[in-house]
A and B are shown apart, each in its own frame.
Chain A
Amino acid sequence: MAYVLQSYKKIRQFFIEIGELSYFAMRYFKEALKPPWEFKELLRQCYHMGNRSLVLVGVTGFIIGLVLTLQSRPTLQEFGAVSWMPNMVGISIVREIGPVITALICAGRIASGIGAELGSMRVTEQIDAMEVSGTNPFKYLVVTRITATMLMLPLLVIFGDMIALYGSALVENLKGDVSFQLYFNTVFDALEFGDLIPATIKSFFFGFTIGLVGCYKGYYSKKGTAGVGIAANTAVVTASLLLFVVDFIAVFVSDIFFEL
Protein backbone atom coordinates (compact mmCIF):
# COMPACT_ATOMS: atom_id res chain seq x y z
CA MET A 1 0.00 0.00 0.00
CA ALA A 2 2.74 2.37 0.96
CA TYR A 3 4.54 1.43 -2.23
CA VAL A 4 1.49 2.25 -4.35
CA LEU A 5 1.09 5.56 -2.60
CA GLN A 6 4.72 6.39 -3.15
CA SER A 7 4.69 5.58 -6.84
CA TYR A 8 1.45 7.50 -7.18
CA LYS A 9 3.18 10.51 -5.67
CA LYS A 10 6.17 10.08 -7.97
CA ILE A 11 4.02 9.85 -11.07
CA ARG A 12 2.01 12.85 -9.94
CA GLN A 13 5.22 14.80 -9.38
CA PHE A 14 6.39 13.83 -12.86
CA PHE A 15 3.26 15.21 -14.50
CA ILE A 16 3.34 18.36 -12.39
CA GLU A 17 6.89 18.92 -13.57
CA ILE A 18 5.97 18.38 -17.22
CA GLY A 19 3.17 20.91 -16.77
CA GLU A 20 5.42 23.46 -15.14
CA LEU A 21 8.06 22.98 -17.80
CA SER A 22 5.48 23.60 -20.54
CA TYR A 23 4.30 26.71 -18.74
CA PHE A 24 7.90 27.86 -18.47
CA ALA A 25 8.35 27.29 -22.22
CA MET A 26 5.22 29.30 -22.97
CA ARG A 27 6.42 32.10 -20.79
CA TYR A 28 9.69 32.03 -22.71
CA PHE A 29 7.93 32.62 -26.02
CA LYS A 30 5.73 35.32 -24.55
CA GLU A 31 8.64 37.25 -23.08
CA ALA A 32 10.99 36.60 -26.01
CA LEU A 33 8.60 38.28 -28.44
CA LYS A 34 8.06 41.39 -26.32
CA PRO A 35 10.57 44.26 -26.22
CA PRO A 36 12.83 45.38 -24.64
CA TRP A 37 15.33 42.81 -25.84
CA GLU A 38 18.61 42.12 -24.13
CA PHE A 39 20.84 41.78 -27.20
CA LYS A 40 24.09 42.46 -25.46
CA GLU A 41 23.51 39.79 -22.87
CA LEU A 42 22.36 37.38 -25.60
CA LEU A 43 25.62 37.86 -27.51
CA ARG A 44 27.61 37.41 -24.34
CA GLN A 45 25.78 34.16 -23.59
CA CYS A 46 26.25 32.86 -27.14
CA TYR A 47 29.95 33.53 -26.96
CA HIS A 48 30.18 32.05 -23.51
CA MET A 49 28.38 28.83 -24.39
CA GLY A 50 30.11 28.26 -27.68
CA ASN A 51 33.44 28.94 -26.11
CA ARG A 52 32.81 26.66 -23.16
CA SER A 53 31.79 23.62 -25.20
CA LEU A 54 33.94 23.97 -28.32
CA VAL A 55 36.93 21.93 -27.18
CA LEU A 56 34.83 19.25 -25.55
CA VAL A 57 32.64 18.82 -28.63
CA GLY A 58 35.69 18.77 -30.86
CA VAL A 59 37.57 16.14 -28.91
CA THR A 60 34.51 13.90 -28.54
CA GLY A 61 33.64 14.27 -32.20
CA PHE A 62 37.14 13.38 -33.27
CA ILE A 63 37.21 10.25 -31.15
CA ILE A 64 33.73 9.16 -32.24
CA GLY A 65 34.67 9.49 -35.91
CA LEU A 66 37.88 7.63 -35.33
CA VAL A 67 36.36 4.79 -33.35
CA LEU A 68 33.32 4.39 -35.56
CA THR A 69 35.51 3.99 -38.63
CA LEU A 70 38.01 1.69 -36.97
CA GLN A 71 35.31 -0.61 -35.68
CA SER A 72 33.26 -0.80 -38.87
CA ARG A 73 36.28 -1.52 -41.05
CA PRO A 74 36.55 -5.31 -40.43
CA THR A 75 32.85 -5.87 -41.09
CA LEU A 76 32.81 -3.79 -44.25
CA GLN A 77 36.00 -5.49 -45.39
CA GLU A 78 34.36 -8.88 -45.01
CA PHE A 79 31.71 -7.83 -47.49
CA GLY A 80 34.23 -6.05 -49.71
CA ALA A 81 32.44 -2.79 -49.12
CA VAL A 82 35.13 -0.61 -47.57
CA SER A 83 34.62 1.96 -50.31
CA TRP A 84 31.19 2.58 -48.79
CA MET A 85 32.81 3.73 -45.58
CA PRO A 86 32.49 7.50 -46.22
CA ASN A 87 28.82 7.15 -47.09
CA MET A 88 28.01 5.07 -44.05
CA VAL A 89 30.00 7.09 -41.56
CA GLY A 90 28.99 10.41 -43.11
CA ILE A 91 25.29 9.70 -43.01
CA SER A 92 25.22 8.19 -39.56
CA ILE A 93 27.23 11.05 -38.10
CA VAL A 94 25.33 13.85 -39.74
CA ARG A 95 21.90 12.37 -39.22
CA GLU A 96 22.09 10.98 -35.75
CA ILE A 97 25.36 10.55 -33.94
CA GLY A 98 26.64 14.10 -34.32
CA PRO A 99 23.52 15.88 -33.06
CA VAL A 100 22.83 13.44 -30.24
CA ILE A 101 26.38 13.24 -28.91
CA THR A 102 26.86 16.99 -29.12
CA ALA A 103 23.55 17.59 -27.40
CA LEU A 104 24.38 15.14 -24.63
CA ILE A 105 27.73 16.79 -24.04
CA CYS A 106 26.06 20.19 -23.95
CA ALA A 107 23.46 18.85 -21.56
CA GLY A 108 26.30 17.92 -19.25
CA ARG A 109 28.18 21.12 -19.78
CA ILE A 110 25.63 23.86 -20.47
CA ALA A 111 22.47 22.68 -18.72
CA SER A 112 24.31 21.98 -15.51
CA GLY A 113 26.17 25.28 -15.81
CA ILE A 114 22.97 27.24 -16.26
CA GLY A 115 21.26 25.28 -13.49
CA ALA A 116 24.05 26.02 -11.05
CA GLU A 117 24.43 29.65 -12.08
CA LEU A 118 20.76 30.59 -11.92
CA GLY A 119 20.33 28.41 -8.85
CA SER A 120 22.99 30.29 -6.93
CA MET A 121 21.57 33.60 -8.16
CA ARG A 122 18.17 32.57 -6.83
CA VAL A 123 19.57 31.42 -3.50
CA THR A 124 21.65 34.54 -2.93
CA GLU A 125 18.69 36.77 -3.88
CA GLN A 126 20.40 38.15 -6.98
CA ILE A 127 17.29 37.39 -9.03
CA ASP A 128 15.18 39.30 -6.49
CA ALA A 129 17.66 42.17 -6.65
CA MET A 130 17.28 42.32 -10.43
CA GLU A 131 13.54 42.30 -10.14
CA VAL A 132 13.44 45.27 -7.77
CA SER A 133 15.92 47.23 -9.84
CA GLY A 134 13.52 47.31 -12.76
CA THR A 135 15.11 44.69 -15.02
CA ASN A 136 12.92 41.72 -15.79
CA PRO A 137 15.09 38.79 -14.65
CA PHE A 138 13.18 36.34 -16.81
CA LYS A 139 14.09 38.32 -19.90
CA TYR A 140 17.62 39.10 -18.82
CA LEU A 141 18.58 35.66 -17.55
CA VAL A 142 16.22 33.06 -18.97
CA VAL A 143 15.28 34.35 -22.42
CA THR A 144 18.88 35.15 -23.31
CA ARG A 145 20.15 31.77 -22.18
CA ILE A 146 17.51 29.67 -23.91
CA THR A 147 17.90 31.66 -27.12
CA ALA A 148 21.66 31.34 -26.93
CA THR A 149 21.62 27.55 -26.55
CA MET A 150 19.08 27.35 -29.36
CA LEU A 151 21.33 29.34 -31.69
CA MET A 152 24.60 27.80 -30.63
CA LEU A 153 23.72 24.12 -30.62
CA PRO A 154 23.28 23.77 -34.40
CA LEU A 155 26.64 25.49 -34.87
CA LEU A 156 28.28 23.20 -32.36
CA VAL A 157 26.70 20.20 -34.06
CA ILE A 158 28.08 21.25 -37.46
CA PHE A 159 31.47 21.78 -35.88
CA GLY A 160 31.32 18.39 -34.14
CA ASP A 161 30.24 16.69 -37.39
CA MET A 162 33.15 18.19 -39.28
CA ILE A 163 35.68 17.08 -36.71
CA ALA A 164 34.16 13.59 -36.53
CA LEU A 165 34.34 13.26 -40.30
CA TYR A 166 37.91 14.44 -40.17
CA GLY A 167 38.70 11.73 -37.61
CA SER A 168 37.09 9.14 -39.84
CA ALA A 169 38.97 10.42 -42.90
CA LEU A 170 42.20 10.18 -40.97
CA VAL A 171 41.66 6.46 -40.34
CA GLU A 172 40.75 5.83 -43.94
CA ASN A 173 43.77 7.81 -45.03
CA LEU A 174 46.16 5.82 -42.87
CA LYS A 175 44.62 2.36 -43.22
CA GLY A 176 42.96 2.43 -46.59
CA ASP A 177 45.06 4.91 -48.55
CA VAL A 178 42.04 7.07 -49.31
CA SER A 179 42.95 10.70 -49.86
CA PHE A 180 41.18 13.32 -47.75
CA GLN A 181 39.81 14.89 -50.90
CA LEU A 182 38.31 11.66 -52.16
CA TYR A 183 36.88 10.91 -48.73
CA PHE A 184 35.14 14.25 -48.33
CA ASN A 185 33.96 14.27 -51.95
CA THR A 186 32.28 10.93 -51.38
CA VAL A 187 30.72 12.13 -48.13
CA PHE A 188 29.29 15.30 -49.64
CA ASP A 189 27.98 13.36 -52.63
CA ALA A 190 26.22 10.96 -50.36
CA LEU A 191 24.59 13.61 -48.17
CA GLU A 192 21.27 15.05 -49.24
CA PHE A 193 19.12 17.86 -47.99
CA GLY A 194 16.95 15.22 -46.45
CA ASP A 195 19.87 14.45 -44.15
CA LEU A 196 21.02 17.96 -43.37
CA ILE A 197 17.80 19.86 -42.85
CA PRO A 198 16.14 17.54 -40.32
CA ALA A 199 19.42 17.23 -38.45
CA THR A 200 19.76 21.00 -38.17
CA ILE A 201 16.15 21.51 -37.15
CA LYS A 202 16.56 18.76 -34.62
CA SER A 203 19.63 20.51 -33.19
CA PHE A 204 17.58 23.65 -32.69
CA PHE A 205 15.12 21.71 -30.59
CA PHE A 206 17.94 20.03 -28.71
CA GLY A 207 19.35 23.46 -27.90
CA PHE A 208 15.95 24.69 -26.80
CA THR A 209 15.51 21.66 -24.54
CA ILE A 210 18.92 22.09 -22.93
CA GLY A 211 18.43 25.80 -22.27
CA LEU A 212 14.87 25.34 -21.09
CA VAL A 213 15.61 22.60 -18.58
CA GLY A 214 18.76 24.31 -17.27
CA CYS A 215 16.93 27.61 -16.77
CA TYR A 216 13.83 26.01 -15.28
CA LYS A 217 15.79 24.03 -12.72
CA GLY A 218 17.98 26.98 -11.77
CA TYR A 219 15.27 29.63 -11.76
CA TYR A 220 13.05 27.69 -9.39
CA SER A 221 15.86 26.22 -7.32
CA LYS A 222 15.12 25.65 -3.66
CA LYS A 223 16.62 27.72 -0.92
CA GLY A 224 20.02 26.82 0.48
CA THR A 225 23.29 25.75 -1.07
CA ALA A 226 22.02 22.18 -1.38
CA GLY A 227 19.39 23.55 -3.75
CA VAL A 228 22.07 24.70 -6.17
CA GLY A 229 23.61 21.23 -6.35
CA ILE A 230 20.21 19.65 -6.87
CA ALA A 231 19.38 22.18 -9.59
CA ALA A 232 22.59 21.46 -11.50
CA ASN A 233 22.24 17.73 -11.08
CA THR A 234 18.59 17.35 -12.02
CA ALA A 235 19.12 19.72 -14.94
CA VAL A 236 21.56 17.28 -16.54
CA VAL A 237 19.42 14.22 -15.88
CA THR A 238 16.16 15.77 -17.06
CA ALA A 239 17.75 17.40 -20.09
CA SER A 240 19.43 14.17 -21.20
CA LEU A 241 16.20 12.23 -20.86
CA LEU A 242 14.19 14.84 -22.70
CA LEU A 243 16.77 14.92 -25.49
CA PHE A 244 15.98 11.32 -26.34
CA VAL A 245 12.27 12.03 -26.31
CA VAL A 246 12.84 14.99 -28.64
CA ASP A 247 15.07 12.81 -30.82
CA PHE A 248 12.41 10.16 -31.09
CA ILE A 249 9.78 12.70 -32.07
CA ALA A 250 12.15 14.34 -34.54
CA VAL A 251 12.97 11.07 -36.30
CA PHE A 252 9.28 10.22 -36.39
CA VAL A 253 8.33 13.59 -37.89
CA SER A 254 11.18 13.76 -40.40
CA ASP A 255 10.25 10.26 -41.51
CA ILE A 256 6.89 11.63 -42.58
CA PHE A 257 8.24 14.75 -44.28
CA PHE A 258 11.40 13.46 -45.89
CA GLU A 259 10.47 9.81 -46.46
CA LEU A 260 13.79 8.52 -45.32
Chain B
Amino acid sequence: MEKQDYISEQIDSLDQREPVIEIRDLHKSFGDNHVLNGFSMTLYKGENLVVMGKSGSGKSVMIKCLVGLIQPDSGFLSVMGKEIKTLDRKTLDALRSDIGFLFQGSALYDSMTVRENLEFPMRRHKEKLGNIRDTTPLVLEALENVGLAHTVDLMPSELSGGMKRRVALARTLILKPKIILYDEPTSGLDPITSKEIIQLMGRVQKKYGTSSLIITHDVDCARVISERMVLLVEGKNYIEGSYTELSKSTDPKVEAFFKK
Protein backbone atom coordinates (compact mmCIF):
# COMPACT_ATOMS: atom_id res chain seq x y z
CA MET B 1 0.00 0.00 0.00
CA GLU B 2 2.68 2.41 1.07
CA LYS B 3 4.77 1.49 -1.90
CA GLN B 4 1.84 2.14 -4.20
CA ASP B 5 1.39 5.60 -2.73
CA TYR B 6 5.04 6.33 -3.18
CA ILE B 7 4.99 5.29 -6.81
CA SER B 8 1.89 7.29 -7.66
CA GLU B 9 3.44 10.28 -5.96
CA GLN B 10 6.52 9.88 -8.11
CA ILE B 11 4.41 9.69 -11.21
CA ASP B 12 2.51 12.80 -10.11
CA SER B 13 5.68 14.74 -9.59
CA LEU B 14 6.95 13.69 -13.00
CA ASP B 15 3.77 14.95 -14.51
CA GLN B 16 3.67 18.14 -12.53
CA ARG B 17 5.92 20.56 -14.25
CA GLU B 18 7.15 23.45 -12.23
CA PRO B 19 5.05 26.59 -12.83
CA VAL B 20 7.02 29.83 -13.19
CA ILE B 21 4.08 32.14 -13.77
CA GLU B 22 0.65 31.69 -12.28
CA ILE B 23 -2.29 33.94 -12.96
CA ARG B 24 -5.57 33.24 -11.18
CA ASP B 25 -8.81 35.11 -11.74
CA LEU B 26 -7.28 38.38 -12.90
CA HIS B 27 -9.59 41.39 -13.12
CA LYS B 28 -8.78 44.82 -14.48
CA SER B 29 -11.01 47.65 -15.63
CA PHE B 30 -10.30 51.15 -16.87
CA GLY B 31 -13.39 53.07 -15.86
CA ASP B 32 -16.30 51.32 -17.56
CA ASN B 33 -14.00 49.39 -19.83
CA HIS B 34 -13.76 45.92 -18.29
CA VAL B 35 -10.65 44.60 -19.94
CA LEU B 36 -9.88 41.46 -17.94
CA ASN B 37 -12.68 39.48 -16.31
CA GLY B 38 -11.16 36.56 -14.50
CA PHE B 39 -8.26 35.54 -16.69
CA SER B 40 -6.27 32.52 -15.48
CA MET B 41 -3.16 30.94 -16.92
CA THR B 42 -0.04 29.04 -15.96
CA LEU B 43 3.37 29.10 -17.62
CA TYR B 44 5.56 26.10 -16.88
CA LYS B 45 9.31 26.06 -16.77
CA GLY B 46 11.02 25.82 -20.13
CA GLU B 47 7.80 26.10 -22.06
CA ASN B 48 6.73 28.32 -24.97
CA LEU B 49 3.21 29.48 -24.33
CA VAL B 50 1.37 31.61 -26.85
CA VAL B 51 -1.49 33.86 -25.83
CA MET B 52 -3.70 34.95 -28.68
CA GLY B 53 -6.47 37.50 -28.64
CA LYS B 54 -8.06 40.21 -30.70
CA SER B 55 -6.63 43.70 -30.77
CA GLY B 56 -7.70 45.52 -27.65
CA SER B 57 -8.59 42.33 -25.78
CA GLY B 58 -6.17 43.17 -22.99
CA LYS B 59 -3.12 41.07 -23.79
CA SER B 60 -0.71 43.90 -23.16
CA VAL B 61 -2.55 44.85 -19.99
CA MET B 62 -2.22 41.24 -18.79
CA ILE B 63 1.55 41.02 -19.16
CA LYS B 64 2.03 44.49 -17.77
CA CYS B 65 0.25 43.29 -14.65
CA LEU B 66 2.80 40.48 -14.47
CA VAL B 67 5.73 42.84 -14.04
CA GLY B 68 3.89 45.32 -11.87
CA LEU B 69 3.55 48.06 -14.48
CA ILE B 70 -0.22 47.98 -14.06
CA GLN B 71 -1.95 47.22 -10.77
CA PRO B 72 -4.76 44.71 -11.28
CA ASP B 73 -8.09 45.27 -9.55
CA SER B 74 -8.09 41.77 -8.14
CA GLY B 75 -6.67 38.34 -8.72
CA PHE B 76 -3.61 36.28 -7.85
CA LEU B 77 -0.36 36.83 -9.72
CA SER B 78 2.82 35.00 -8.96
CA VAL B 79 6.11 34.87 -10.79
CA MET B 80 8.68 32.28 -9.75
CA GLY B 81 6.80 31.67 -6.54
CA LYS B 82 6.63 35.34 -5.53
CA GLU B 83 3.30 37.09 -5.34
CA ILE B 84 3.72 40.38 -7.19
CA LYS B 85 1.56 42.63 -5.08
CA THR B 86 3.29 41.70 -1.83
CA LEU B 87 6.76 42.68 -3.04
CA ASP B 88 8.57 45.85 -2.03
CA ARG B 89 10.43 47.92 -4.58
CA LYS B 90 13.78 46.20 -4.09
CA THR B 91 12.53 42.62 -4.34
CA LEU B 92 10.38 43.59 -7.29
CA ASP B 93 13.40 45.06 -9.08
CA ALA B 94 15.40 41.90 -8.37
CA LEU B 95 12.56 39.78 -9.72
CA ARG B 96 12.20 42.01 -12.76
CA SER B 97 15.85 41.41 -13.64
CA ASP B 98 14.91 37.74 -14.08
CA ILE B 99 12.07 38.66 -16.42
CA GLY B 100 12.82 39.94 -19.89
CA PHE B 101 10.15 42.12 -21.45
CA LEU B 102 10.07 42.75 -25.18
CA PHE B 103 7.76 45.68 -25.76
CA GLN B 104 5.27 45.85 -28.58
CA GLY B 105 6.95 48.83 -30.23
CA SER B 106 10.53 47.86 -29.28
CA ALA B 107 10.70 50.83 -26.84
CA LEU B 108 14.35 51.61 -27.52
CA TYR B 109 15.47 54.81 -25.76
CA ASP B 110 15.75 57.11 -28.72
CA SER B 111 18.09 59.61 -27.09
CA MET B 112 20.70 56.89 -26.53
CA THR B 113 22.94 54.89 -28.83
CA VAL B 114 22.45 51.15 -29.24
CA ARG B 115 25.32 50.57 -26.83
CA GLU B 116 23.78 52.83 -24.17
CA ASN B 117 20.44 51.15 -24.71
CA LEU B 118 21.97 47.79 -23.92
CA GLU B 119 23.96 49.12 -20.99
CA PHE B 120 20.91 50.72 -19.42
CA PRO B 121 19.45 47.59 -17.78
CA MET B 122 22.86 46.82 -16.27
CA ARG B 123 23.22 50.07 -14.36
CA ARG B 124 21.13 48.89 -11.42
CA HIS B 125 22.03 45.22 -11.62
CA LYS B 126 25.81 45.30 -11.39
CA GLU B 127 26.00 42.64 -8.67
CA LYS B 128 24.00 40.21 -10.75
CA LEU B 129 26.69 40.40 -13.42
CA GLY B 130 29.52 39.97 -10.91
CA ASN B 131 30.42 43.66 -10.64
CA ILE B 132 32.21 43.81 -13.95
CA ARG B 133 33.80 47.09 -14.98
CA ASP B 134 33.83 46.77 -18.72
CA THR B 135 30.44 45.96 -20.16
CA THR B 136 31.55 46.04 -23.79
CA PRO B 137 32.01 42.25 -24.17
CA LEU B 138 28.51 41.66 -22.80
CA VAL B 139 27.01 44.27 -25.11
CA LEU B 140 28.78 42.81 -28.11
CA GLU B 141 27.80 39.26 -27.19
CA ALA B 142 24.17 40.26 -26.91
CA LEU B 143 24.30 42.06 -30.23
CA GLU B 144 26.04 39.16 -31.92
CA ASN B 145 23.23 36.91 -30.72
CA VAL B 146 20.90 38.94 -32.87
CA GLY B 147 23.43 39.49 -35.67
CA LEU B 148 23.75 43.24 -35.25
CA ALA B 149 27.19 43.78 -33.72
CA HIS B 150 28.00 46.41 -36.33
CA THR B 151 25.22 48.75 -35.15
CA VAL B 152 26.68 49.27 -31.69
CA ASP B 153 27.32 52.99 -32.10
CA LEU B 154 24.24 53.89 -34.12
CA MET B 155 21.19 55.72 -32.83
CA PRO B 156 17.84 53.87 -32.87
CA SER B 157 16.52 56.35 -35.44
CA GLU B 158 19.13 55.01 -37.87
CA LEU B 159 17.79 51.44 -37.64
CA SER B 160 14.95 49.82 -39.54
CA GLY B 161 11.91 48.48 -37.72
CA GLY B 162 13.17 44.92 -37.84
CA MET B 163 16.61 45.91 -36.61
CA LYS B 164 15.06 47.86 -33.76
CA ARG B 165 13.09 44.78 -32.74
CA ARG B 166 16.29 42.72 -32.75
CA VAL B 167 18.20 45.30 -30.73
CA ALA B 168 15.28 45.39 -28.30
CA LEU B 169 15.50 41.61 -28.05
CA ALA B 170 19.23 41.90 -27.34
CA ARG B 171 18.49 44.43 -24.62
CA THR B 172 15.89 42.10 -23.16
CA LEU B 173 18.41 39.27 -23.06
CA ILE B 174 21.33 41.15 -21.61
CA LEU B 175 20.53 40.33 -17.99
CA LYS B 176 20.07 36.63 -18.91
CA PRO B 177 16.44 36.47 -17.80
CA LYS B 178 14.82 33.18 -16.85
CA ILE B 179 11.45 34.18 -18.25
CA ILE B 180 10.85 36.27 -21.36
CA LEU B 181 7.59 38.03 -22.08
CA TYR B 182 7.16 38.90 -25.73
CA ASP B 183 4.48 41.46 -26.56
CA GLU B 184 3.71 40.90 -30.23
CA PRO B 185 7.30 40.27 -31.32
CA THR B 186 6.40 40.20 -35.01
CA SER B 187 3.80 42.96 -35.25
CA GLY B 188 4.48 45.53 -37.93
CA LEU B 189 7.22 43.47 -39.59
CA ASP B 190 7.26 41.90 -43.03
CA PRO B 191 6.90 38.08 -43.21
CA ILE B 192 10.61 37.49 -43.81
CA THR B 193 11.77 39.64 -40.93
CA SER B 194 9.05 38.07 -38.77
CA LYS B 195 10.46 34.68 -39.59
CA GLU B 196 13.93 35.83 -38.60
CA ILE B 197 12.66 37.12 -35.29
CA ILE B 198 10.84 33.84 -34.65
CA GLN B 199 13.97 31.84 -35.42
CA LEU B 200 15.91 34.12 -33.14
CA MET B 201 13.42 33.50 -30.35
CA GLY B 202 13.81 29.78 -30.86
CA ARG B 203 17.58 30.02 -30.70
CA VAL B 204 17.48 32.09 -27.53
CA GLN B 205 15.18 29.54 -25.96
CA LYS B 206 17.60 26.69 -26.78
CA LYS B 207 20.71 28.58 -25.76
CA TYR B 208 19.50 29.91 -22.40
CA GLY B 209 16.70 27.47 -21.58
CA THR B 210 14.23 30.25 -20.86
CA SER B 211 10.49 30.00 -20.40
CA SER B 212 8.60 32.22 -22.79
CA LEU B 213 5.19 33.83 -22.79
CA ILE B 214 4.45 35.05 -26.29
CA ILE B 215 1.61 37.37 -27.14
CA THR B 216 0.69 37.52 -30.77
CA HIS B 217 -2.06 37.49 -33.31
CA ASP B 218 0.27 36.20 -35.97
CA VAL B 219 -0.91 32.65 -36.68
CA ASP B 220 2.33 31.66 -38.39
CA CYS B 221 4.31 32.76 -35.39
CA ALA B 222 2.02 30.76 -33.11
CA ARG B 223 2.33 27.64 -35.27
CA VAL B 224 6.12 27.68 -35.30
CA ILE B 225 6.85 28.59 -31.74
CA SER B 226 3.99 27.45 -29.54
CA GLU B 227 3.91 24.30 -27.47
CA ARG B 228 0.65 25.32 -25.91
CA MET B 229 -1.78 28.13 -26.65
CA VAL B 230 -4.32 30.11 -24.66
CA LEU B 231 -7.00 32.19 -26.34
CA LEU B 232 -8.02 35.36 -24.58
CA VAL B 233 -11.61 36.22 -25.41
CA GLU B 234 -13.76 38.76 -23.55
CA GLY B 235 -11.28 39.06 -20.74
CA LYS B 236 -11.17 35.33 -19.96
CA ASN B 237 -9.03 32.39 -20.97
CA TYR B 238 -11.49 31.01 -23.47
CA ILE B 239 -9.77 27.80 -24.51
CA GLU B 240 -6.40 26.12 -24.11
CA GLY B 241 -4.54 23.53 -26.17
CA SER B 242 -1.84 22.83 -28.72
CA TYR B 243 -1.81 24.56 -32.09
CA THR B 244 -3.04 21.46 -33.89
CA GLU B 245 -5.88 20.97 -31.42
CA LEU B 246 -7.07 24.55 -31.62
CA SER B 247 -6.71 24.92 -35.36
CA LYS B 248 -9.05 21.94 -35.80
CA SER B 249 -11.65 23.36 -33.44
CA THR B 250 -15.06 24.08 -34.87
CA ASP B 251 -15.96 26.67 -32.26
CA PRO B 252 -16.64 29.85 -34.30
CA LYS B 253 -14.75 32.07 -31.84
CA VAL B 254 -11.70 29.85 -32.12
CA GLU B 255 -11.99 29.38 -35.86
CA ALA B 256 -11.99 33.15 -36.34
CA PHE B 257 -8.37 33.30 -35.22
CA PHE B 258 -7.14 30.70 -37.67
CA LYS B 259 -9.03 31.82 -40.74
CA LYS B 260 -6.80 33.54 -43.21
Contacts and interface: CB of A to CB of B under 8 A. Distances in A.
Contacts of B107: 124-126, 128-129
A120 B125 CA distance: 26
B64 A133 contact: no
Given A124-B107, A128-B107, A135 B123 contact: yes
Contact of B105 (A124, A131, A132, A133): A124
A42 B123 CA distance: 16
B120 to A, nearest CB: 6
B110 A128 contact: no
Interface in A158-184: none
15 contacts: A117-B111, A125-B105, A125-B107, A128-B64, A128-B69, A129-B103, A129-B107, A129-B109, A130-B120, A132-B67, A133-B96, A133-B120, A133-B124, A133-B175, A135-B123
In which size bucket is the chain A interface?
10 to 19
A134 B124 contact: yes
Interface of A: 117, 120-121, 124-126, 128-135
Interface of B: 64, 67, 69, 93, 96-97, 99, 101, 103-105, 107-111, 120-121, 123-125, 175
Contacts of B104: 125
B109 A132 contact: no
Contacts of B103: 125, 128-129
A126 B109 contact: yes
Contacts of A132: 67, 69, 96, 99, 101
B23 to A, nearest CB: 17
A133 B97 CA distance: 7
A120 B105 CA distance: 12
A59 to B, nearest CB: 27
A66 B152 CA distance: 50
Given A125-B105, A133-B97, 20 more contacts: A121-B109, A124-B105, A124-B110, A125-B103, A126-B108, A126-B109, A126-B110, A128-B64, A128-B69, A128-B107, A129-B101, A129-B103, A129-B107, A129-B109, A134-B93, A134-B96, A134-B123, A134-B124, A135-B123, A135-B124
Contacts of B175: 133
Contacts of B120: 130, 133, 135
B116 to A, nearest CB: 11
A124 B103 CA distance: 9
A111 to B, nearest CB: 18
